[in-house]
Chains A and B, each alone.
Chain A
Amino acid sequence: MSEAKVVGNPSANKKILDIKNLDISFQTNAGTIHAIRGVNLDLCKGETVAIVGESGSGKSVTMKAVMGLLDSNATVNSGEILYTYTDEKGQEATVDLLKLPKKQLRQNFNGQRIAMVFQDPMTSLDPTMTIGKQIMESMFLHLQMDKEAAKARALELLELVGIPDAEKRFKNYPHQLSGGMRQRVVIAIALSANPDILICDEPTTALDVTIQARILELIMEIQQKMGLSVVYITHDLGVVAKVADYVDVMYAGKIVEVGNVNEIFFEPKHPYTWGLLSAMPDLETDDDRLYSIPGSPPNLLREPKGDAFAARNQFALAIDEKAEPPLFQISPTHWAATWLLHPDAPKVEMPPELVARLARARKEAEKYL
C-alpha cells in the first residue's frame, strides 16, 4: 500500500462515519412529511461533531437512522450511511448501515460499535429492572462476559460516570435515582460494550447547569480515555463551544452550514447561524430581551420552494424565492448553503451587534487558552 493520502478531508483522522445524501420521509395521516432532505455529515475517529438547529430540524431523526431505530412510519428514500470499522479479523471494513439487514445491524453494530444516548433520561430506563442488570445486559451479549466480570465492569463504569456508592446503586431500580443519576446510568449503558461511536441526543437538557457541566466533562474524559468519536445533538451552543471539534448547523432537514468550531463561532456565514448565535443567552448584553429568529420553521408536509429559510431571513435575495442555494465552500473545512456567498451576491455582513458579541466571546475564550 502506498502512503495514505487524504483527499477532501483535511482532518488528520480517519473518517469513521460518512452520511451521504440521506433523505427520509414520514407517512402520517396529514400526508408525507419530508423530514430529512439530503443530509451529508462526516465524523472522524476520536473527534466530536455537534449537530445544532431548532426543534424539528431533523437532528434526532438523522441519528436514529444511523442506529436503524427510525419509527415504523419512516421511509428512507435515498442515501448512504457508510461506517468504517475494524472487524473481528483486524481488517478494516466499510458498510452501508442502511443496506444492512435489520437483524445484523442490531446484532453486530448497535451498542457494540455505535451506541446512542437518547433524549429523555427520566424514561429511558426499564422501571422493572435493576440498573446493574441493565448495564450488564449488553456486556453479556457483545463482550461474552460471565456474570462476575460483567459486574466488575458495571461497577467500574458506574464509578467512571461519577455515581458514588456504585455497589449500592447497582441493585437500585431507576425510580430510586434522580434525573442526573439516571442520565449517567444511560451513558454507562451506552459505554458498556466499548463502542467506537457515541451519539448523545441532548444529553444534558434535563439536568441543572452544574450537573450538565459535569456530564460533559465526563464524556470528554471518557472520549480521551477510550478514543471514542462523539456526536452531540443539542440546542445549547454553549455546550457546542465547549465540546465540539466540528459543528453541523441543521435547518428544515438539511445541513445549511458546517465548519470547525472556530469557524462557526467566529466567522459564521449563514444568516440562520447568525440567528442561532444571536439567540444565545449572553451575560454581558445590557439588553435583557433575548433575541429569537422571527417566524417558525417551514411545514415539511409541503416541499419548500427555493431556500427554506428565505421567509425568515432579513437578508433574503430575490433568488432565494426561486432556487435552493448549493453549499458554497469558504475554507477547506467550512461550507454554507446561502446565496449570499455567490460571487454575484451583494456584500452582506454579519449584523454589527453579533460581531460585537462574538468578539467579546472570543476574548472570553482566549482567557482560558
Chain B
Amino acid sequence: MTRFLVKRIGMMIVTLFLIALLTFVLMHAVPGGPFTSDKQVSKAVMDALNEKYKLNDPLWKQFLDYMRGLVRFDLGPSFKYQGKTVNDFISNGLPYSAKLGAITLVFVLCASIPMGIISALRNGKWQDMLVMALATVGVTIPSFVIATGLIYFFSFKLGWTPVYGVDKWQGYILPVIAMGGYSVSFLARLMRSSLLDVMGQDYIRTARAKGISETRVILKHALRNALIPVITVLGPTVANLLTGSFVIEKIFAIPGMGGYFVNSVTQRDYTTIMGMTVFYAAFLIAMVFIVDLFYCLIDPRIKYD
C-alpha cells in the first residue's frame, strides 16, 4: 500500500512536470508575445518590458525560473494586469468555480445513479423509456444550447430564475443543470446498462436462490457491482464538468476561473496560461487518483500494485 502510494504520487509529479513543459513549449511556439498588440509600442518600452519580465532570457532559463516558483506554489505575476499575480486570479475565481463544480457534481451523482437504477429495474416500462429519452436529449444537445434554452424558458418566460449571476441561490439552478446535463445523461445510461448486466449474472441467481428478498439482492449484491464501471468514469466526468464550466461561467456571468483562463489565452498572458493550466492539471490528476483509491475500495479484485 505504501509502495503503491509512493509510486502513484511520484508518477503524478512527473505527469504534472510534463504538462508544464508541454504547455510552456506550445505557448512560446505561437508567434507573438504578451506585449504585441494593435497599438504601436516604442522599441524602448518593449525592451524594458521584456527585460522586466525576463523574456529576453533563453527559454530554458525562463522555464527553470518558472519551475522554481512553482515548487513554492508561486505561479508568478500576471503579464497583463499590473500588480496582480496568477495566485490572485485563482484565489478570486476558485471559490465560485469550486462551488459551482461541487454543486454540479453532487447534482450529477444524485440524479444519474437513481435514474439509471430505476430505468434498469423498470426495464422496458414507461419509467425506463422516460429516463432514456431524457438521457438521449442530454448527451446530444451541447451545454450552451441547453443553457440558452433554460434561460429563455425559466428566466425570460417564467421569471423563476435570475438570468445571470449567483448572488442568490436560485442563480445556481440553471448553470448546474446546463453544466451537469451531459454527465447526468451519460452516467444514467451507464448505470442502467451496468445494472442490467449485473442482474443477469450468475451470482445474482445464487443470491436469489439463497432466499433473500429482491430488495436485498439489489442493495447488497447488484448495486455494488454495478457501480464499478460508473466509478471508473468519474475521473473523466469531473474533467468534463470542469471544462464545461468555462462556457457556462461565461454564459451566466459567474466570476469563476474559467473567465480568467479564457482571457489569458486571448491576451497571451504567459504566466496566467501556465498557472491556470498547471492548476487544472494538478486538480484533475488528484481527482483521478482519488477515484482510483475509491475503486480499489469497492472492487476487491483490484490490487494496489
* B224 A128 Cβ-Cβ under 8 A: yes
C-alpha spacing A111/B212, complex, angstroms:
8
**Which residues of chain A have C-beta atoms less than 8 A from B228's C-beta?**
128
The stretch that binds B, out of A77-85, A117-125, A207-215, is A117-125
* A137 B210 Cβ-Cβ under 8 A: yes
C-alpha spacing A127/B228, complex, angstroms:
11
* A189 B210 Cβ-Cβ under 8 A: yes
* A124 B202 Cβ-Cβ under 8 A: yes
* A110 B208 Cβ-Cβ under 8 A: yes
Interface residues of B in 210-258 (CB under 8 A from A): 210-214, 220-221, 224-225, 228
Confirm or deny: A303 has a beta carbon within 8 angstroms of a beta carbon on chain B: no
* A125 B206 Cβ-Cβ under 8 A: yes
**Which residues of chain B have C-beta atoms less than 8 A from A193's C-beta?**
210-211
**Interchain nearest-CB distance for B242 vs A (Å):** 30
* B211 A118 Cβ-Cβ under 8 A: no
**Interchain nearest-CB distance for A78 vs B (Å):** 24
C-alpha spacing A185/B300, complex, angstroms:
18
For residue B225, which residue of chain A has the nearest CB? A128
**What mask results when residues 96 to 122 of chain A are scored 1 for a CB within 8 Å of chain B, else 0?**
000000010011111110011010100
Interface size class of A (residues with CB under 8 A): 20 to 34
* B202 A127 Cβ-Cβ under 8 A: no
**Which residues of chain B have C-beta atoms less than 8 A from A110's C-beta?**
208-211
Given known A127-B300, A129-B221, contact A106–B206 (CB-CB < 8 A): no
Confirm or deny: B201 has a beta carbon within 8 angstroms of a beta carbon on chain A: yes
Confirm or deny: A51 has a beta carbon within 8 angstroms of a beta carbon on chain B: no
Given known A173-B300, A173-B301, A175-B301, contact A124–B210 (CB-CB < 8 A): no
Q: Which of A110, A126, A186, A193 lies at the interface centre, i.e. has the most chain B CB atoms within 10 A of its CB? A: A126
C-alpha spacing A136/B122, complex, angstroms:
30
Instruction: Find B205's partner among A108, A115, A118, A190 (CB 8 Å cutoff).
Output: A118
For residue B202, which residue of chain A has the nearest CB? A123
For residue B223, which residue of chain A has the nearest CB? A128
For residue A128, which residue of chain B has the nearest CB? B224
Interface residues of A in 184-215 (CB under 8 A from B): 186, 189-190, 192-193
Confirm or deny: B49 has a beta carbon within 8 angstroms of a beta carbon on chain A: no
**What mask results when residues 184 to 220 of chain B are scored 1 for a CB within 8 Å of chain A, else 0?**
0000000000000000011101111111111000001
Number of B positions contacting A (CB below 8 A): 22
Confirm or deny: A69 has a beta carbon within 8 angstroms of a beta carbon on chain B: yes
**Interchain nearest-CB distance for A109 vs B (Å):** 7
Confirm or deny: B298 has a beta carbon within 8 angstroms of a beta carbon on chain A: yes
Confirm or deny: A183 has a beta carbon within 8 angstroms of a beta carbon on chain B: no
Instruction: Find A115's partner among B201, B207, B209 (CB 8 Å cutoff).
Output: B209
For residue B198, which residue of chain A has the nearest CB? A126
For residue A111, which residue of chain B has the nearest CB? B211
* B201 A123 Cβ-Cβ under 8 A: yes
C-alpha spacing A127/B227, complex, angstroms:
13
C-alpha spacing A347/B207, complex, angstroms:
52
**Which residues of chain B have C-beta atoms less than 8 A from A141's C-beta?**
210-212
**What mask results when residues 38 to 73 of chain A are scored 1 for a CB within 8 Å of chain B, else 0?**
000000000000000000000000000001010000
**Which residues of chain A have C-beta atoms less than 8 A from B299's C-beta?**
127-128
**Which residues of chain B have C-beta atoms less than 8 A from A138's C-beta?**
210-212
**Which residues of chain A have C-beta atoms less than 8 A from B207's C-beta?**
126, 137
**Interchain nearest-CB distance for A365 vs B (Å):** 34
Given known A173-B300, A173-B301, contact A127–B209 (CB-CB < 8 A): no
* B205 A69 Cβ-Cβ under 8 A: yes
**What mask results when residues 133 to 159 of chain A are scored 1 for a CB within 8 Å of chain B, else 0?**
000011001100000000000000000
Instruction: Find B212's partner among A109, A137, A175 (CB 8 Å cutoff).
Output: A137
**Which residues of chain B have C-beta atoms less than 8 A from A127's C-beta?**
203, 225, 299-301
Instruction: Find A106's partner among B205, B214, B221 (CB 8 Å cutoff).
Output: B214
C-alpha spacing A129/B212, complex, angstroms:
15
Q: Which of B209, B214, B299, B300 lies at the interface centre, i.e. has the most chain A CB atoms within 10 A of its CB? A: B209
* B210 A118 Cβ-Cβ under 8 A: no
For residue B208, which residue of chain A has the nearest CB? A69
Residues of B whose CB lies within 8 Å of any CB of A are 201-203, 205-214, 220-221, 224-225, 228, 298-301
Q: 22 pairs across A/B with beta carbons < 8 Å?
A: A69-B205, A103-B213, A106-B208, A106-B212, A106-B214, A108-B211, A109-B211, A111-B209, A111-B210, A112-B211, A124-B202, A124-B203, A127-B225, A128-B225, A128-B299, A128-B300, A129-B220, A137-B207, A137-B210, A173-B300, A175-B301, A189-B210
Closest 4 CB pairs of A and B: A111-B211, A110-B211, A111-B210, A123-B202
